[in-house]
Amino acid sequence: MRQVIFEKAKFLQHIQAKLGEIKDGYCSIELPIQDFHLQQDGFVHAGVQATIADHACGIAASTVMPEGKIPLSIEFKVNMLRPAVGERLVAIGTVLKAGKTIVVTEGEVWAYQGEQKKLTAKMQATMAVVEL
Amino acid sequence: MRQVIFEKAKFLQHIQAKLGEIKDGYCSIELPIQDFHLQQDGFVHAGVQATIADHACGIAASTVMPEGKIPLSIEFKVNMLRPAVGERLVAIGTVLKAGKTIVVTEGEVWAYQGEQKKLTAKMQATMAVVEL
Amino acid sequence: MRQVIFEKAKFLQHIQAKLGEIKDGYCSIELPIQDFHLQQDGFVHAGVQATIADHACGIAASTVMPEGKIPLSIEFKVNMLRPAVGERLVAIGTVLKAGKTIVVTEGEVWAYQGEQKKLTAKMQATMAVVEL
Amino acid sequence: MRQVIFEKAKFLQHIQAKLGEIKDGYCSIELPIQDFHLQQDGFVHAGVQATIADHACGIAASTVMPEGKIPLSIEFKVNMLRPAVGERLVAIGTVLKAGKTIVVTEGEVWAYQGEQKKLTAKMQATMAVVEL
């Protein structure tokens, strides 16, 4: 079920994101960096980072919801910490507080160059718990 | 110059966004809605809305910066107000406060169906003024 | 009823805030600036501005809720635009989107010196609609 | 020097906050909960939590700045996770990314009842590095 949120999201395919791991209160999404992800300075666009972080947060939130409920992004805030450059990005979403109507999550985006990684963005995202 | 920020941003081409109007402290970006913009529920993905709103805010910020300076997104926060459905989206960025090192902006995303429009997202974005 | 949200909030008394006007989707709160409102540089503390903006947003949100429902702050984001100095602050909360379970609001804080005013802070706040 | 940011901030005295610990990239502030901290439902006001979290983040940011530089809050975003009730609150500010002109921080607010604690608020705050 959680996987469906990834597979049915056409925009995630369009940017060539790949589902990583889903665990309780956790989801990771990988993105091999391509030329078309970049903004005018040669860094990955903030919107790309926001997309994978928000989506990872949404799937993480879905893991703490009862059957028949799905997450919908109410809002998020993201700080861009360093230029996002490298071979690939990994977005990680985790649940901070699971409520009945609202799930609060945190997202991180890491840029990898070989084994080296650095944190490029940090998000706080609020998800509504809605009927399927 | 301001236009370059749009034309050189490959990700904006990848999502088929089109530059609208640039005025002092103002920028609009248009997006004819395509299937590949959608998330799992059939609405335009929050990340797409964040991308065009952030980019419109960045170009709006650039119009109040002296020559040789460019905007870089420090952070933004966006509320998704209504499901983004329709024929096209229009993102509007405006400058709230122009400082020497920081420009604070606001972004709106409107969904159009024919002549009817509704506000689907509202952003507050903080831009750094950096050397070209 | 709306007024009660102000009168019963002891912290608003503690900082000597005064209820301004309540209209549909709107609330203003006034604060004659006192020495005890200041931070280390002599400006009104960001926390004071956040307090009156959040509270004005909450009361504004309450005006669009049915009887028996009250607002509770889920989250807010605030940009400090200029140093808050002068004779008094006025916080204005307005409703951006009234939903059944969530009301999204905007807050402004204005600093007045005589008739002159300047915008010192801008907020986006998300309110939950909860049972009394 | 870092301590001065606390001692000279009159609003922190007005709400009876006490400086906890200052370490590299870290600051804690304690607040014995008083009646005057409450909002209309008997919880500590979101503005009180924002005040101590923002201030802890500011002092944490100051520890990574060179001599002669001080922090000024550009913006913050805070999620209220649970009703803030108990004997005392502890706000913890930590540095996420120390830049030359901007320091990004995170803040937490914990409510204590005896030895039991729960996280009541989570903040992301952006601080400008300014001349003294």
Residue-wise pLDDT for B35-52, tens only, equals 999 999 999 999 999 999
Is the pLDDT confidence value at D1 over 70? Answer: no
Residue-wise pLDDT for D83-101, tens only, equals 999 999 999 999 999 999 9
Whether B74 contacts chain A with CB within 8 A: yes
Is the pLDDT confidence value at A28 over 90? Answer: yes
Is the pLDDT confidence value at C132 over 70? Answer: yes
| Mean pLDDT in residue range A21-27 | 98
Mean pLDDT of chain A: 96
CA–CA separation, D129 and D132 (whole Å): 9
CA–CA separation, D15 and D17 (whole Å): 6
Other beta carbons within 10 angstroms of residue C110's beta carbon come to 17
- How far does B48 lie from chain C, in Å, by closest CA? 20
Q: How confident is the model at residue C1 (pLDDT cuts 50, 70, 90)?
A: low
Of D77, D82, D97, the CB nearest to A77: D77
Number of domains chain D is built from: 1
Interface C–D counts its CB contacts (< 8 A) at 123
**φ, ψ for residue A41, nearest 5 deg:** -100, 0
- How far does D74 lie from chain A, in Å, by closest CA? 12
Of A6, A40, A78, the CB nearest to B5: A40
User: What percent of chain B has a predicted confidence (pLDDT) above 70?
Assistant: 99
Q: How confident is the model at residue B25 (pLDDT cuts 50, 70, 90)?
A: very high
Ramachandran bin of B112, using left for φ above 0, alpha for ψ from -120 to 50, beta for the remaining angles: beta
Residue, of C7 and B99, whose pLDDT is higher: B99
Whether D38 contacts chain B with CB within 8 A: no
Q: Please give the pLDDT value at position C6.
A: 87
Q: How confident is the model at residue A40 (pLDDT cuts 50, 70, 90)?
A: very high
Q: What is the ipTM of this complex?
A: 0.96
| Mean pLDDT in residue range B2-19 | 92
CA–CA separation, B54 and B92 (whole Å): 9
Measure Cα distances from C25 to B9, B44, B109, C106, D39 in Å.
Answer: 39, 28, 21, 10, 21
Q: Residue A106 in contact with residue A121, Cβ under 8 Å?
A: no
| Mean pLDDT in residue range D99-109 | 98
CA–CA separation, B111 and C128 (whole Å): 25
Q: Please give the pLDDT value at position C3.
A: 80
Whether A128 contacts chain C with CB within 8 A: yes
CA–CA separation, A54 and A63 (whole Å): 15
Beta carbons within 8 Å of B115's beta carbon, 6+ residues apart: none
User: What percent of chain D has a predicted confidence (pLDDT) above 90?
Assistant: 94
Q: Would you state the structure tokens that stand for residue C19, as one six-digit string?
A: 């209820």
| Residue A74: half-sphere exposure toward Cβ, Cα within 13 Å | 29
Is the pLDDT confidence value at A1 over 70? Answer: no
Amino acid at site A13: Q
- How far does A120 lie from chain D, in Å, by closest CA? 10
Q: Would you state the structure tokens that stand for residue D131, as one six-digit string?
A: 């001349």
Whether B122 contacts chain C with CB within 8 A: yes
Q: What is the CATH number of the domain that holds A24?
A: 3.10.129.10
- CB < 8 Å to B124, chain D: 75
Is the pLDDT confidence value at A7 over 90? Answer: no
Domain that holds residue A95: 2-131
Q: Name which of A52-61, C48-57, C88-97, D2-11 the model is least confident about.
A: D2-11
Quick one: which of A9, A20, A77, A7 has its CA closest to A49? A77
Nearest CA in chain B to A56: B47
Residue A9 exposed, middle or buried by CB count within 10 Å (0-12, 13-18, 19+): buried
Quick one: which of D47, D58, D30, D16 has its CA closest to C47? D47
Is the pLDDT confidence value at A9 over 70? Answer: yes
